[in-house]
Structure 1
Amino acid sequence: MTDREFDLMDELYFVQPFQYLQETLGWEEKVILESLESLYKRGLIKCLKSPDEECFYQVNIQEEGSKLYFLATKKGLMAHNTI
């Protein structure tokens, strides 16, 4: 896990919208989307349409990411806490 991914995971212990991540981290949209995509592909985060509606399809983070919410998975939390 890269330092950026680690910092991003710090914010995903609770459901967070993309806009919150942008405001909190202060990174460019492209950087956040790339980091989210990397974490998502490894099963470390999940995507949600709303705070309580998980996406049960393969999400294209680059196209949809700025409209979604994100949350660390159990696997992601374990990876984040063992570093």
Structure 2
Amino acid sequence: MNMTDEEFDLLDELYFVQHFDYLKETMGWAEDRLLATLDSLYKKSFIKCLKGPDDEIFEIESLQDLGKEMYFLATKKGLMAHNGRL
């Protein structure tokens, strides 16, 4: 599955659980761009979304509404794609 440069760069930050605010500050992207990239990664099953550091959310309609309050983590599939093995 193809990955955009933005998705690749964002996955660099998701080897560990990170909150939206941390990602926004670290990446320096506008909220809309960050949310759109997170949503794209989620739809490819490359990331998990969490309410808290250990509280995964399994069904999400859109990250546009709730993404600013969430934590994110790369999945095994996402890490494999990030490392060129998928």
Is the pair's TM-score, using the shorter chain for normalization, greater than 0.5? yes
Runs of 5+ in structure 2 lacking a partner? none
Q: How far apart in 2 are the matches of 1:43 and 1:81?
A: 15
Contact in 2 for aligned 1:47/1:59 (Cα 8 Å): no
Identity %: 63
Q: How far apart in 2 are the matches of 1:71 and 1:26?
A: 19
SS at match of 1:70: strand
Q: How far apart in 2 are the matches of 1:57 and 1:41?
A: 11
The Cα RMSD (Å) is: 1.1
Q: How far apart in 1 are the matches of 2:48 and 2:61?
A: 9
The number of residues matched between the two structures is 83
Equivalent residue in structure 1 for 2:26, among 17, 24, 29: 24
Moved over 3 A (4+): none
Superposed CA offset, 1:14-36 (max 9, x none): 00000000000000000000000
Q: Normalising to structure 2: TM-score of the pair?
A: 0.92
